[in-house]
Amino acid sequence: MGLDQLKTQLSSLDPRLYQIASLSTLLLYGLIWLYFDISVTQIAVTIGTALLTQYAGTRYYNLSAFDPKSPLISALSLCLLLRTDHLAVAALASFIAIGSKFVIRWKNKHVFNPTNLALVVMIGSGLGWISPGQWGQVAWFGFLIACLGSLVVTRAARADVTLAFLSFYVGLLFARAAWLGDPLTIPLHQIESGALLIFAFFMISDPKTTPDSRTGRIIYALLVTLAALYVQFGLFHPNGPLWGLIACAPLVPVIDYLFQDVRYSWSSPSNGSPPVYTLCPAACSLPLSQPRRFL
Amino acid sequence: MRRIAVPLLTLFIGLCTWSSEASAFCGFYVGKADTKLFNKASEVAIARHDNKTVITMANDFKGDVKEFAMVVPVPTVLEKEQIHVGDPAVLKHLADYSAPRLVEYFDENPCRRYDMLQDRMGAMKSMAPAAAEAKRERDQVLGVTVEAQYLVGEYDILILSAKESAGLETWLTDNGYRIPAGASSVLHSYLKQNLKFFVAKVNLGEQAKLGLTHLRPLQIAFESPKFMLPIRLGTVNADGAQELFIYFLTKQGRVETTNYRTVRLPDAQEIPLYVKDKFGDFYRDLFTQQVKRESERGVFMEYAWDMNWCDPCAANPLSAEELRGLGVFWQDNVGGPQRGRSMPMAQSVFLTRLHVRYDAAHFPEDLMFQETSDRSNFQARYILRHPWTGTDECPAATAYRQQLRDRYEREAQTLATLTGWNIGEIRKTMNIAALPVGDENKWYQRLWKN
């Protein structure tokens, strides 16, 4: 089988399978090598609750079929990020994440990214915490490669918002370092967070919670970046991007109103029509044809 | 010329039921690893709750006190009442209480009870008065403002703010502080982040009046959302890596770094008996091995425990008065727990002890922290297991003696892995070769033994 054939075959797979594989590998690596503070029982409870909630929601709202892939991605992200001493908290987080997709909706789109909402509720209430510094360089770099690889292989639908966010965020961190006269090792160290990667590749890119048009999404990425940096350097609070995204999520309907475009849907995934202008030509010139996440 | 001796060290920035009789832990506490084992070690205690922070900076300065000076970035201009001189004994007590520890078990006569571990409880023990006009003008030219000036205990304290780092650097040099080359860019960064500088040196007259021969820890109290320790000045021009011990006293739970990996040290490992006499060397080498394993970028947790108790205790838990002395302001019950009572008063203080070996290459950024809701206990504890040496004969005793050599081998390998010591040397010191060889036949040889 030639390389092109392999690529075609991979591209035809559901991109979420690729995501599930990379998240699972990372979780295993974290457990075995980095001693992540999470028990196998907690992983089972998190995943089990997510699947059950998805199943219950599917039945209650009479949706076509139960699909475990999306809740699995949410649950794996929670396992990678959320730390708690209590299994009940892990279950509650999973329930909030998946349940919010069915309940908190605006014009047939859910408002908050499920993982993001659950994490913010848990750390805001003090029931759990996130350990953003626990990754180390090897895991971080490996995961970065896997995430970038997934964008290319799966031609993800919302690569523009991911790349725009990363460009703004990293660019502004470097700009801050230049203003302070800090060595470049400092911003490089600051971006070395696994939580940042999960955020950029798995949360902000959720097609159901991002604006419909590409221009809207670029503006959205900029707003989230500014909010994240304000939380980090203005309020001196960790996990800035998570708070930034939750704060900006309610703005999506407004952005959609200002920049109207085709609504993302299951049957005809779309990236929106080409923008009149773009802040991020490189990101936006990627071939984008398949949906990345849904519901 | 005064020297910056502690180049800025530092700065800003399951619940267990307890009874005096019961203890889940087996073994006697026999030793601990002192912080003095490590060269160039600084110790800082941080009590923090709701953005209110009290930092105690220990001082183990050994040279001439005339040479001593300390420059610490702080988030706010401190009033005189926000600066205090602490009791070194309390900090020493905190260090002893949380130190990595060695415990020992004694195997029982296998003939009496093969399951020989007996639960034993760890015993519960308990600057210039008025600046000249010309000087003020000079200060203005340099853009340095002396925001405040205090005499606290044996220390002269200045709080400086500055418009730009070059002026601050010149001011410090003019006033007799030796600033390491390369500090300028770090000062610049801190100034841009709107930090002030807390400068302390020893007032010799006051020190003589107080009759002190050592320097007591300086304490500062302030309110700021910043939960961090600025270590960057300390890495400028530093000769090799430095050690820092940080003790956090918090209400909710364990503290960890948000921008570096916080790693638990290996704990509860059984190691050879001879380590009892060289536990210090053992712990120092174990720590170095762990630093290497984390590519010199890790922050290590040595202790995390509810302040109410310990098991085993390397030292008594701190009293409420001692905790108050370290800045624990949120306890209403000043009386503290009564010794000898079966249930102590809830102290709502959780202690986290972190140990970091840092240099500029591996720790480019200041240490940032967060308090988590994790209240699970952790201690760096190492175990000596004494064999039973009786002469009784029974099948269980024979089996027991046969497995001893394997057990010693395991302990030797554990020790080699933890410390990087030579396995051959360890075996020699343990004299494993002289031990009776057990039944070395394979299982199938035993099965069809003629």
pLDDT tens digits along B259-307 = 999 999 998 889 999 998 899 999 999 999 999 998 899 999 999 999 8
Question: Which domain range does residue A280 map to?
Answer: 140-284
Residue where a domain terminates, one of A130, A150, A173 = A130
> How far is A142 from A127, CA to CA, in rounded Å?
30
Residue B449 within a domain: no
User: How large is the angle between the packed helices A15-32 and A69-81, nearest 10 degrees?
Assistant: 30
Rounded-to-integer distance, Cα A175 and Cα A271, Å? 30
Q: Which of A108, A130, A152 is the last residue of a domain?
A: A130
Say if residue B401 is in the same domain as residue B363: no
B370–A238 C-beta distance less than 8 A: yes
Residue B329 forms part of a structural domain = yes
A276 pLDDT tier (thresholds 50, 70, 90): very low
Task: Looking at the structure, tell me whether residues B354 and B426 fall in a common domain.
Answer: no
Residues of B in contact with A122 (CB under 8 A): none
Q: Which chain A positions have a beta carbon within 8 Å of B374's beta carbon?
A: 37, 83, 85, 129
Q: Are residues B165 and B251 in the same domain?
A: yes
B343 in any annotated domain: no
Question: Cα angle at A24 between A20 and A27, to 5 degrees?
Answer: 145
* Pair (B138, B148) in one structural domain: yes
Residues A222 and A104 both lie in one domain: no
User: Could you tell me if residue A291 is inside a domain?
Assistant: no
**Judgement on whether residues B383 and B410 belong to the same structural domain of the protein:** no
Give chain B positions within 8 Å (CB) of A238: 258, 368, 370
pTM of the model: 0.83
Q: Do both A167 and A50 map to the same domain?
A: no
Residue finishing a domain among A76, A108, A130: A130
B219 within some domain: yes
Among B188, B295, B297, whose Cβ lies nearest the Cβ of A181?
B188
Chain A hits for B261, Cβ within 8 Å = 34, 133-136
* Cα–Cα dist B259/B228, whole Å: 10
* 3-class SS letters over B233-265: HHHCCCCCCEEEEEEEEECCCCEEECCCEEEEC
Distance from CA of A152 to the nearest CA of B (A): 30
Q: Do B297 and A136 touch (CB under 8 A)?
A: yes
Among residues B258, B356, B260, B345, the alpha carbon closest in space to that of B302 is found at B356
Residues of A in contact with B297 (CB under 8 A): 136-137
The verdict on B365 and B417 lying in the same domain is no
Specify if B236 maps to a domain.
yes
pLDDT for residue B117 is more than 70: no
Listed residue (A95, A41, A42) closest to A71, CA to CA: A95
What is the number of domains present in chain A?
2
Is B375 in contact with A182 (Cβ distance < 8 A)?
no
| Domain assignment of residue A290, yes or no | no
Chain B hits for A127, CB-CB cut-off 8 Å, are: 373
Q: List the Cα angle A244/A257/A206 in 5-degree steps.
A: 45
Are A21 and A125 members of one domain? Answer: yes
Query: Shortest Cα distance from A10 to chain B (angstroms)?
Result: 35
The torsion angles phi and psi of B228, rounded to 5 degrees, stand at -155, 165
**Mean pLDDT of the B393-418 span:** 88
| ipTM exceeds 0.85, yes or no | no
CB atoms within 10 A of CB A2: 7
- Answer whether B262 sits within 8 Å of A85, measured CB to CB: no
CB contact under 8 A, B185 and A181: yes
**One domain, residues B365 and B429:** no
Q: Could you tell me which residue, A50 or B129, shows the higher pLDDT? A: A50
In-domain check, residue B339: no
Looking at the structure, do residues A152 and A278 belong to the same domain, yes or no?
A: yes
A209, part of any domain: yes
In a domain, A8, yes or no: no
Mean pLDDT over A259-286 rounds to 45
Whether A84 and chain B come into contact, CB under 8 Å, resolves to: yes
Coil, strand or helix at A263:
coil
CA–CA gap between residue A234 and residue A230 (Å, rounded): 5
The helix (H) or strand (E) run that includes residue B131 is none
Provide the mean pLDDT of chain A: 81
Which domain covers residue B404, as residue numbers? 391-438
Residue B445 lies inside a defined structural domain of this protein? no
| Angle at the Cα of A255 from the Cα atoms of A252 and A261, rounded to 5 degrees | 105
Interface contact flag, A189 B368, Cβ < 8 Å: no
* Domain match, B285 and B395 both: no
pLDDT tens digits, A212-250: 888 999 999 999 999 999 999 999 988 999 999 999 998
